[in-house]
Amino acid sequence: MTRPVLADLPHEYHNQVFIGIRKEIHMGKNTSVTLGEHFDNFIASQVQSGRYGSASEVIRAGLRLLETQETKMNTLRQLLIEGEQSGDTDYDLDDFIDELDHEAE
């Protein structure tokens, strides 16, 4: 098997770095989705702005943001569950007000 030359690779692979490791390049699975005019226009504007090289890059960037958001939400849910399971603490409003008064001094 010969090594691919950068010019032979599809544009989306030009920014990948190969560091002394033989790695096969797998083409992504083609998936067809219906986005509607609003998102078609948005994607086109992002590509035309030069920020992204293709519609696929825009979609991948959006999916990365969604993945990050979902990870944060799952972490928050887990922390809320842990907080609820940790039990109630003794809370005294008067002590809290006294504490605030001392901080203000």
CA dihedral 28, 53, 23, 9 (to 10 degrees): 90
Q: What is the pLDDT of residues 51-101, one digit of tens each?
A: 999 999 999 999 999 999 999 999 999 999 999 999 888 888 999 999 999
Q: What is the mean pLDDT of residues 17-40?
A: 72
Distances (CA, A) of 61 to 2, 15, 18: 31, 15, 22
Return the higher-pLDDT residue of 27 and 48: 48
End-to-end CA distance of the chain: 76
Neighbours of 61 (CB within 10 A): 13
Give 1-28 pLDDT, tens digit per residue. 454 444 555 555 544 444 444 555 666 7
